[in-house]
Amino acid sequence: MALKSRILFIGGTGYIGKYIVKASVLAGHPTFVLVRESTLSSASKEQVMETFKSLNVNFIIRFFPSEFANDVDHVHTVEPAKTLFATKAKIRRVVEAEGIPYTYVTSNFFSGYFLPTISQIGASAPPTDTVIILGDGNPKGKDRVFIET
């Protein structure tokens, strides 16, 4: 029998990651999840962590800054995200200028997360009469893949 690949997940306790981690284990792969120490005892992650423990998932504890969506150096957006992304980009520049070793990992955008509300900020269900379009409604999209070290 061939050996299965060892797989490391970053974001394995998240919205989609928890399902992919479980599938990896059930497929027979030695599975590792990078987590913060606080995640191990987080009340909101308790069920996910218990499931992982019962499946013998291996935890690697390490601080890893998260982008939670788009790569701030390669995205063009409108407010309020524009200001938030500019702040994150400034933090990157400081890390780089100080010579701190870094790896940027961005998950990019998962559209399904915003589809139920059609990206309406603060909405809990799809709008029935009005939709707010940010910007001028004519953004240009680009497909890009970036790996930075």
Helix axes 17-26, 46-54, angle to 10 degrees: 10
Asked, as a colleague might, if the bond just before 65 is cis with ω within 30 of 0, I would say no
- Tokens matching residue 7: 């797989």
Strands 31-35 and 7-10: parallel
Active site residue 88: yes
Q: Where does residue 48 rank: exposed (0-12), middle (13-18), buried (19+ CB within 10 A)?
A: buried
Q: Which of 88, 90, 140, 142 is catalytic?
A: 88
| Residues with catalytic roles | 88
